[in-house]
Each structure stands twice: as C-alpha cells, then as structure tokens.
C-alpha cells in the first residue's frame, strides 16, 4: 500500500536524475535520489580527460541554473561540467543518497514499488524515475575472432588519455564523435587507424559565424522527434571545426573500411589484407543500464518499453536521459530538463505510456492516506 510519506525514487544522480528531482519538487512530489557513486555528478568524471563540451556554455544549462563562470561562448571542459553538476545538486532541496546502488525494483500488490539497494535498504516508492544513464553499459559488437585476439581490447568508456598508447599501432572502431576525437588525439602519439563502416559524415561546428547550437535552437531542429529528423539528416555526423576532416583528407589520420575479423595479432580488413595491431579501442556506443528493472518485466531485451519516456508496461515508472527519448537533444545537458518536466508531469498525473484514460494520480496517492 502506498502511504502519504512515500517518495518518488529517482535512480541515478546525474544530470537526468537531478533534473527529475527538480521537476518533481516543482510538481509537489517528494523525490529521493539514489546514486551508486560517491557524489551526484553522473558519469562526467569518468569521461576522457581532454573532453570539451560540443555545445557552448550558453547552450549547456540545466533548468534553473545558468552554466556560468566565464565566456558563454566557450566550450567548457569536462571538469567544469562536474563542478557545475556539483553546484546544481547542492541547489536542489531533495534527499540525495550516494553510495546507494539500486539492484531491483518490485511492484507492490496495493500499488507503488519496492526499490532494493545493495546496502540492503528497501524503499517504498509511489513512483520510479529510471535515470541511470548508459555509460556503465558500453556496447561492443560481436566480430569474428575477437576472442582469439591477444592484443589489448577496450571500450572508449575506459579510455582516459593518449600517453599509454605511445608508439603503439592502435585501431579505433567507430564513426561517432568519441571515435574521431580519440583517434585524432592519439594520432601524434601512436600509429592510428579509424575503422568505420561508411565514410565519416561531418557537421560544421559553426555556420555563418554562429555555433551550430544557435541554429538548432532557432530552427527548432533540437526538438524534432527521431522519425522527422532522420528524414532530414540521413547519417549521424561528427561535429567538426574542420580539424578532423583535414586530418583524414591529408592522411595524418588513416581511415579504413570496417575490419571483417580478428586474428591473434591483428585484424583482417575488408580487402582481405592482414594488419598487426597492438590495441583496439571500440567507440561503438552504449546501451541503457537498466538491469534493476528486469524483475519488473519492464524491458524488452534490455531496452525500456516506453513512449516519450513514459513506461508502456508499468504505471508510475518513467525514464529519463535515453537517447532520442523525445528529440535529438534528449540526452544532452540542454535538452534533458524539457524531458524531465514531461515525464514528471506524467508521473504526477498517473499517466502510463500505454493508456492515458484511467489516471491514478501519484499526487493523490501521496496525500490521501
Ligand atoms: C564521451 C561523452 C561525451 C559527451 N559529451 C556531451 C556534451 O558535450 N554535451 C552534452 O550535452 N552531452 C554530452 N554527452 C551526453 C550526455 O549529456 C552525458 O552522457 C550525460 O552524462 C548523461 O547524463 P545522465 O544523467 O543521463 O547519465 P549519467 O551521467 O551516466 O548518470 C547516471 C548516474 O546513474 C548512476 N547509476 C547507474 N546505475 C545505477 C543504479 N543501479 N543505482 C543507482 N545509481 C546508478 C551512475 O553512477 C551515474 O551517476 C556525452 C556523453 C559521452 C559518453
């Protein structure tokens, strides 16, 4: 049975979880954020050291707090984001428990959920916001022979800096921002090849003297749903001021068509040739980290079943921070606040993604008993 004291449990204390907490407070709910790590700043401290935001500071704020601290047109470095999230979490008047990893969520017969943590705490919740990101669930494609390869294999999630690769022959697999940025950074230190399925597509960082994010905002492209956007833009593209394209066209950074198999000491390329390599870095993306929802039956092969972040399987369960949850900007600092308002409104109104006809408002459950 739900009681008036029951909170909404938010799983994950990154930008998504913190935005959800802020939106929940505004909606009159009582959020409790459970964060597995030591502080509520999300995965940013684990990103590679040289990372700078792809959006200028002026387009990188969460709701209610400007990303200040200097020129609004600068591209903040990783540690500035960590410091910003630290300030942001401190500004939210919600209970945030760190060192609290959620291991399972179970439904209760009378409604609501029981949220289990690895410290043994079981928390009764009127609703759950799954905002646990994907960084801890890196995706590696199954390629023939990968298990027989004796060199170093790592996902870009575990890459920090170029120096350990000095003098090595390194293959970076992937065609996205991380793949190109890491390969470019490694090139002066190592013999690097980028392996991609298709030629890399680039998107200019600046157009007519303004950053791309200015145009995404004024044209409304940032808010387009995936189905519409993919009709306009065929391929995901790498943001570039021109340096990456130049490095590839000048041959300073080699790019080859995707490898077909691994051998013990290297790879076989699409044209059948063999090349020995010392290390392979997969920059091949991530999948949502939602194992704790498996007992609930909310997932389909590990992926959430939802419409715009609202679960289609369970009333009172919502998601935040999914790639393309509602639009291109969903999984970004600038876009997550809009989605937070949307899913928290659905939560407060008791709306499920499957049926919006018989609401059981969480707000009412919270105040009734
Ligand atoms: C390399 C890289 C660069 C990026 N660059 C940009 C950029 O320039 N601009 C931009 O706007 N976006 C960028 N993004 C995208 C996005 O903004 C970030 O990935 C951001 O960290 C996502 O925030 P989040 O809160 O959804 O997830 P996360 O930051 O991953 O936070 C999730 C939190 O949940 C916690 N958690 C996980 N499982 C559990 C559990 N079971 N119980 C309790 N807690 C749990 C984790 O410890 C973590 O703190 C980038 C992403 C990557 C990977």
The closest-lying atom of ligand 1 relative to the alpha carbon of residue 100 is 43
Give 179's Cβ-side CA count (13 Å radius).
Answer: 27
Task: Give the closest residue to 246 by CA, choosing from 213, 209, 204, 208.
Answer: 204
Domains of the chain: 8-137+286-368 (3.50.50.60), 146-282 (3.50.50.60)
- HSE value, Cβ hemisphere, 13 Å, CA-based, for 327: 18
> 3-state class of 192 per DSSP?
strand
Rounded to whole angstroms, what are the CA distances from 183 to 60, 67, 138? 25, 29, 18
* Beta strands at 152-155 and 299-300: parallel, antiparallel or unpaired: unpaired
| Contact 282 CB / ligand 1 (< 6 Å) | no
Contact 137, 289 (CB under 8 A): yes
pLDDT computed for residue 227 by the predictor: 78
The finding on whether 55 has its CB within 6 A of some atom of ligand 1 is yes
Question: Residue 230's pLDDT is what?
Answer: 74
Using one digit for the tens of pLDDT, what is the confidence trace for 312-334?
999 999 999 999 999 989 999 99
Tell me how far CA of residue 113 lies from CA of 8, 116, 138, 211, in angstroms: 9, 10, 28, 44
The partner residues of 115 in beta bridges, in order of sequence, read 105, 123
Beta strands in 288-336, from DSSP E residues, in sequence order? 299-300, 303-304, 306-307, 310-311, 317-319
Residues 239 and 241: their CA atoms lie apart, in Å, by: 7
**Which residues are CB-neighbours of 235 under 8 A, at least 6 positions away?**
198, 201
Q: Is 19 in the pocket of ligand 1 (CB under 6 A)?
A: no
CB 31 within 8 A of CB 20: yes
Look at residue 236 in the predicted model and tell me its pLDDT.
74
Does ligand 1 have an atom closer than 6 angstroms to the CB of 137? Answer: no
If one residue of 61, 332, 340 were mutated to test the ligand 1 pocket, choosing by the most ligand atoms within 8 A of its CB, it would be 332
* DSSP string computed for 15-38: HHHHHHHHHHHHTT--EEEEESSS
Which residues lie closer than 8 Å to 243 by C-beta, 6 or more apart? 184
- What pLDDT is attached to residue 351? 58
Can you tell me the distance from the alpha carbon of 74 to that of 284, in angstroms, rounded to the nearest whole number? 28
Helix axes 15-26, 78-90, angle to 10 degrees: 30
Question: Closest by alpha carbon to 313, among 8, 117, 101, 107?
Answer: 107
Tokens representing residue 269 in the block: 């390329």
> Which residues, given as ranges, of the chain have pLDDT below 50?
1-4, 355-361, 363-369
Atom 16, ligand 1: residue with shortest CA distance: 332
């Amino acid at each position: 049975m739900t009681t008036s004291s029951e909170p909404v449990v938010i799983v994950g204390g990154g930008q998504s979880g913190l935005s959800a907490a802020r939106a929940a407070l505004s909606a009159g709910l009582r959020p409790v954020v459970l964060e597995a790590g030591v502080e509520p700043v999300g995965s940013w401290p684990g990103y590679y050291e040289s990372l700078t935001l792809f959006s200028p500071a002026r387009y990188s704020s969460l709701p209610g707090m400007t990303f200040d601290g200097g020129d609004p047109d600068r591209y903040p470095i990783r540690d500035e984001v960590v410091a910003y999230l630290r300030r942001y979490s401190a500004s939210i008047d919600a209970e945030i428990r760190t060192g609290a990893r959620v291991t399972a969520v179970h439904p209760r017969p009378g409604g609501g959920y029981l949220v289990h943590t690895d410290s043994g705490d079981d928390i009764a919740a009127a609703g759950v916001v799954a905002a646990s990101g994907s960084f801890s669930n890196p995706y590696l494609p199954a390629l023939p022979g990968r298990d027989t390869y004796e060199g170093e294999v790592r996902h870009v999630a575990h890459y920090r800096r170029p120096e350990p690769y000095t003098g090595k022959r390194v293959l970076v697999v992937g065609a996205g921002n991380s793949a190109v940025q890491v390969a470019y950074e490694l090139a002066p230190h190592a013999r690097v090849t980028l392996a991609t399925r298709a030629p890399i597509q680039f998107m200019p960082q600046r157009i007519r003297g303004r950053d791309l994010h200015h145009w995404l905002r004024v044209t409304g492209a940032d808010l387009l749903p995936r189905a519409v956007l993919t009709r306009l833009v065929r391929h995901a593209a790498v943001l570039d001021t021109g340096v990456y394209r130049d490095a590839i066209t000048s041959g300073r950074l080699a790019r080859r068509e995707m490898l077909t198999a691994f051998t013990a000491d290297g790879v076989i390329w699409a044209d059948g040739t063999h090349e020995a390599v010392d290390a392979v870095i997969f920059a091949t993306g991530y999948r949502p980290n939602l194992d704790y929802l498996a007992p609930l039956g909310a997932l389909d092969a590990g992926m959430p079943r939802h419409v715009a972040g609202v679960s289609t399987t369970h009333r009172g369960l919502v998601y935040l921070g999914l790639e393309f949850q509602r639009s291109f900007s969903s999984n970004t600092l600038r876009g997550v606040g809009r989605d937070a308002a949307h899913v928290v409104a659905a939560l407060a109104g008791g709306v499920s993604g499957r049926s919006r006809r018989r609401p059981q408002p969480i707000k009412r459950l919270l105040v009734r008993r």
